[in-house]
Amino acid sequence: MNFSVILTTVGILAAVSAGLSVIISVADAVLNNYGTCQLDINNGEKLLSVKGGSSLLSLLASEKIFIPSACGGKATCGLCKVGVLEGGGPLLLTEEPYISLEERKQHIRLSCQVKVKTDMKLRIPEELFNIKEFLCELVEVEDMTYDIKRLRLKLPAGESIKFKAGQFVQFYSKPYGKVREEAFRAYSISSKASETDHLELLIRLVPNGIVTTYVHTALQVGDTVRLSGPYGDFYLRGDCEELVMIAGGSGLAPIRSLVYDVIEKGLPHKMRFFFGANTMRDLYYMEEFTQIERDYPQFKFIPCLARPAPEDNWQGVTGFVTVALEEQVADSVSKEAYLCGSPGMLDACIKILKTKGFTDETIFYDKF
């Protein structure tokens, strides 16, 4: 066996491989160097010069134009819609599930999926220009359950946030541990809309969740937290007589804000709040909602346990929330439903509500 030939061959292959790697790196740098791109927003209302190559969502955020996004730009929430009239390229497969045929005619795109490669003409709702960024101080943390924390965040002196009960903010985590980049997720505001100098959030730990792990393991009282908002169209609508409210887990957050909004404004709505959990250890704010029920006869609180443990000695509704809905909600007459929680739970509840006369126009939901 001629080892010198083998070594020579290996050396040649290594050199070729290294050369290809350099060529690919250079080509990638050249091909992805889109230079400066011009963003024309709302027919010249705003003109921005940005460095191409990143998502439209992130580049707009860098210019302090905050487009709502609950998933951190992963194309799983469908919230970051804007009009891309020119320069966006073809609709991507990742966008198709979230863009209706009518929206496609209007050139609606998911800004997290559109890469800025050239000059673009955009259409962005005016109200999004009013969204602000806040650098808040974390002043209090409380364990509500084994996997849900309540955060109380104080706004800087002289600043305030005006939001509608039910809306959310985007929460930006900092690099920590092995996570080297900032990330963001959407969390509903659980505090009263009348309290504008601070916010409260309820954040459940999601296994392997970048932001929730940051909150539960790295964030400390006294830390500065960056937020933007408010966002969302999950808020009280019409003039109905009764509100049916349904939540599970941290979905309680916007419902809590809605309940206090009705009470503080003296609105005449009757309210029934169905809160679904697995066992007693998943329940929280029990004393608070029970006290509200005592103080305000128009409010009824119905906690439901799907799988109560023997030691729970549970005397309330046993079964999924859907069981209570079937038994306690009559046919819809001047009612609206507000739901917040997991997609599976909400889909099951919406199906039941529609059998009772609720329609798409009277059902409002926020899927976590």
* C-alpha dist (Å) from residue 135 to 8, 157, 161, 185, 219: 61, 11, 12, 16, 14
Write down the pLDDT at residue 22: 43
Residue 285's closest CA among 163, 143, 187, 164? 143
State whether 265 and 170 are in the same domain: no
Residues 167 and 249 in one domain: no
| Cα 78 to chain centroid, rounded | 10
Judgement on whether residues 212 and 318 belong to the same structural domain of the protein: no
Domain annotation covers residue 330: yes
Residue 258 counted as domain residue = yes
Looking at the structure, do residues 347 and 308 belong to the same domain, yes or no? Answer: yes
Total domains, the chain: 3
Residue 21 lies in a domain: no
How confident is the model at residue 367, as a pLDDT? Answer: 85
Start-end of H helices in the chain: 3-31, 56-62, 101-105, 210-217, 252-264, 286-295, 321-328, 343-355
Report how far residue 293's alpha carbon sits from residue 303's, in angstroms, rounded to the nearest whole number.
12
Q: Do 168 and 266 sit in the same domain of this protein? A: no
Q: Point out the domain boundary residue: 128, 148, 179.
A: 128
Tens digits of residue pLDDT in 126-143:
888 889 999 999 999 999
pTM of the model: 0.83
Q: Does one domain contain both 109 and 78?
A: yes
For 234, phi and psi rounded to 5 degrees?
-95, 90
Q: Is 363 found in the same domain as 271? A: yes
pLDDT in tens, 207-256: 999 999 999 999 999 999 999 999 999 999 877 899 999 999 999 999 99
Report yes or no on 91 lying in a domain: yes
Q: Which residue type occupies 345?
A: M
Domain end among 128, 158, 174 = 128
Which structural domain range is residue 259 located in? Answer: 242-367
CATH of the domain at 202: 2.40.30.10
- The mean per-residue pLDDT over the stretch 198-213 comes to 96
The answer to whether residue 72 is domain-embedded is: yes
**Counting beta carbons within 10 angstroms of the beta carbon of residue 312, is it exposed (0 to 12), middle (13 to 18) or buried (19 or more)?**
middle
In eight-state DSSP terms, residue 302 is E
Q: What is the CATH number of the domain that holds 56?
A: 3.10.20.30
Which of 30-34, 164-168, 315-319, 346-350 comes out lowest in average pLDDT?
30-34
- Above pLDDT 70, what percent of the chain? 91
- Rg over CA atoms, the chain: 25
Rounded to whole angstroms, the Cα distance separating 292 from 290 reads: 5
* pLDDT for 26 beyond 90: no
Q: How confident is the model at residue 32 (pLDDT cuts 50, 70, 90)?
A: low
CA distance 191 to 298: 21
For residue 78, CA distances in Å to 39, 70, 108 come to 22, 8, 11
Which of 128, 147, 170 is the endpoint of a domain? Answer: 128
Within 13 A of 353's CA, how many CA atoms are on the CB side? Answer: 26
